[in-house]
Amino acid sequence: MIAAKVLMMLGAVLPAAEQDNNVEWSGITHVSFQDRRPLCPLNGEPFAVQVRTWATDLTAVCVWVDDGVAPVTCVDGSLIAARGPYDIWEAHVPATTSATLFYYLQLTDGTDTDYLGTVGMSDDPPAGNEFLIDYATLSHAPFGATLHPGGGTIFKVWAPNPISAFVRGEFNGWGLADLMNDIGDSFTLYLDDADYREMFKFYFEPGAVWKPDARARSLNPEDNYNTHIEDRFAYEWNDAAFETPAFEDMIVYELHVGTFSGRNDGGTNNPPTYRDVVDLHLDHLIELGINVVELMPVNEFPWDYSGGYNPVSPYAPERIWGDPDDLKYLIDTLHQNGIAVVVDIVWNHFSPTDNYLWLYDGNQIYFDDPAEETPWGSQADFDEPQVADLFADSSLYWLEEFHVDGFRMDATDFMNSNQDSGWELMQRFNDEIDARWADKIAIAEQLPDDSWVTRPTSLGGAGFDTQWFDQFVDDVRQAIFDAAFGDPQMWKIRNAIEGDGEYLEGVQVVNYIEAHDEAWSESGGQRIIVTIDPSFPHDSIYAQGRTKLGHALAMFSPGIPMFLQGCEFLEDTDFGSNAPGTPEARLDWSKVETYAGYLQFFKDMIAVRKSNCGFRANAPVDVSHLNESGNVLGFHRWDGGGNDLMVVVSFSNSDFTDYEIGFPQPGLWFEILNSQADVYGGSGLGNGGSIETVPVAQDGFADSASIVVPAMSVIVFRFNDAPPCDGDANGDGAVDPLDSGYVLARFGCPVGTGDPSCDAADVNGDGAVNPLDSGYVLARFGNCG
């Protein structure tokens, strides 16, 4: 039942996995450097082999083992866990006295048996393509520094040119005692005295070249970029009950750790930290109602203050904001409260400064010579398989070790502009996510729009699930600015709402009017409210009215809506890198109170989106009304279950008190959101909570109504679905449907108390009464449904 539920929730279409005498190859993965326990077996010790399959697909798994000593045997596996739409199977390989061991996997669904080896799935045993464990050379070790549960660390580095390599670190006095084993184009070594969080570097001869680990999980830029040994299994996660929202239901909040906290919020860290995000502002994010936080890049960058788009590592989190476990705490806490986390990754270039991969082993192995250049720095040599692996494996690292729910890839147009292999790498990235993490989203920042980026890889596309919709942001912003002169082009708004055809519509686009680029002062941008109203405090009726309607268009049009941190409380501080020691570039949290009405509009707008299935990303749309001279537009959204909605948008600077517009059904339509309501700091003009249609044809419909359309407004009408209300909940002096709405009500234990006695119920069904049984639910007020 759980697996079926998850499959139905996903934005992607998954195969019908069931025990039907057919092994579904598409969801089967065994990543050798990730799916063994321990990750790098030593000295003939026993180890476990894991394989991931579609949920409920297989009836049996076994692992064929050949060590050249004992008889070849198939070790039976068992189902040990379910993760989203997948099952995880595990088999235990016994100890051996041999120096080498080979294995491959046998997978069975009833009468169908297939096999998995190093080149993928096959109908027959993969002769010559078995997985190898070489206890003598440790060639099977993951690249980087891998702690062993029995003590010590295994080191492996790709360095095809040096004659010799050493591990030099705190554990050996940074000396030359530990010469690594040369295994061709790489070096390996196990050191039993190298421990958690100790620092090290690789040292290559000839040339006396010192280098951090290319796959460092933690760097210390304050100490010459020494690498910390990290334990990828040390953090104790508490998010087992969390499920990534369906792509159609996502509402994305773009957040930058270094500027999110620390101004008028009681925060004292300079710069702010990963923990500050949730320790100071978890309740704000929950009450706002978003269900996805998109973290701007968290990879290590030079110095202490940056937007993050100048990375020096695809792996190590930025140290100035905390250590890796602090970032895991941020993600874990958001997950426990129903919020997914997407991370922004920058693969198209490295920082032009502090680029330690440059001339890595004394030669240019990670870059072409001369290097391919982008406007922001050098691009890695994607043609080189080991370099492509560095990036592709990093996405698995973030999904496995940090539990992220997807990625937004920066500047995908530049991934493909210099090297054809960049396109192939993006295809590999998306194929590997689709095989192993199909419930996680991949978002492209593709500027300009390109349907090939969201076209499936099977059809030659890059395979992203969705892309930032450049047409929407450009045309809606331009209409907002043109509204000051009374001549926005409404036909462009219609086109933006409808999308741009196959692979650029519905869930395949992310709609917004302001992201970091638009508000980035260092790149010539500024907050949209400052452009609309240049006079401080930038909060005129025009700034408030036009930004509300712009954000509402993003929220209610087909597609995935997104907005930048601070938009919800009229933040006028331009996004920037945050000058050292000063909080002026950070969000001003005093505005939460100053613009409480504006913030309430965001909360209600998000609640309306979440509680009406007709607003899901792929739900149909019909732009039925277009008034170019009056600057008014109306569009119909609906679902198959009777949720019928009509959205009326006015870019006009004038109120219309008797405006004729068609409605798709006859009868009563309730005004469930009006951006100009008093409670949101608006003009107060509206429709008294509801309208009744008359049988007069308009806009292609048989029925219409005369409605009030305030200037600079968005009004949402819902058909025949608003029960009577029982009080003046919003304080506007009238008892009407505007008194109904949604609040986030906490249930169960307060988060973080660790006290199960505060709740006597196993709310989340995990078999225990604990703080995971606490959270928030969307509850109506005003006796409305």
DSSP H helical ranges for 112-197: none
Predicted local confidence at residue 769, as pLDDT: 61
pLDDT band at 5 (very low <50, low <70, confident <90, very high): very low
Question: Which pLDDT score, from 0 to 100, does residue 745 have?
Answer: 41
Task: Tell me the Cα Rg of the chain.
Answer: 28
Could you list the beta-strand ranges (E) of 427-585.
441-444, 466-468, 509-511, 560-564
Cβ atoms of 136 and 44 within 8 Å: the answer is: no
**Rounded Cα–Cα distance for residues 460 and 701 (Å):** 41
Say if residues 461 and 452 touch (Cβ distance below 8 Å).
yes
CA distances to 18, 234, 286, 452 from 437, in Å = 18, 22, 25, 22
DSSP output for 536-574: TT---HHHHHHHHHHHHHHHHSSSEEEEETTGGGT--SP
Per-residue pLDDT reduced to its tens digit, 310-325: 999 999 999 999 999 9
Q: How far apart are CA 213 and CA 203, in angstroms?
A: 10
Structure-block tokens of residue 16: 């019908």
HSE value, Cβ hemisphere, 13 Å, CA-based, for 182: 9
Indicate whether 622 pLDDT > 60: yes
Q: How confident is the model at residue 721 (pLDDT cuts 50, 70, 90)?
A: confident
Q: Return d(Cα 266, Cα 242) in angstroms, integer.
A: 30
Question: pLDDT (tens digit, 9 = 90+) per residue, 659-685?
Answer: 999 999 999 999 999 999 999 999 999
pLDDT of amino acid 778: 36
- Stated pTM of the model: 0.91
Are the C-beta atoms of residues 235 and 325 closer than 8 Å to each other? Answer: yes
**Cβ pair 714, 647 in contact under 8 A:** yes
Q: Which tens digit of pLDDT belongs to each residue from 261-282?
A: 999 999 999 899 999 999 999 9
**How far is 740 from 689, CA to CA, in rounded Å?**
10
Average pLDDT, the chain: 91
Query: 31: closest CA among 89, 129, 118?
Result: 118
Inter-CA distances, 92 with 65, 73, 101, 109, Å:
10, 12, 14, 20
Q: Mean pLDDT across the stretch 586-608?
A: 97
Does the pLDDT of residue 760 top 70, yes or no?
A: no
Please say whether the beta carbons of 422 and 388 come within 8 A: no
Neighbouring C-beta atoms of residue 386, cutoff 10 Å: 15
Which of 472, 371, 352, 348 is CA-nearest to residue 417? 348
For residue 776, pLDDT over 50 is answered with: no
Question: Please, what is the end-to-end C-alpha distance for the chain in angstroms?
Answer: 28
- DSSP bridge partners of 93: 47
Note the residue count of the chain. 785
pLDDT of residue 521: 84
Amino acid identity, residue 677?
A
pLDDT digits (tens, 9 = 90+) for 199-253: 999 999 999 999 999 999 999 999 999 999 999 999 999 999 999 999 999 999 9
Burial of 543 (0-12, 13-18, 19+ CB in 10 A): buried
Lowest mean pLDDT among 56-60, 603-607, 763-767: 763-767
Say whether 129 sits in a helix, a strand or coil.
coil
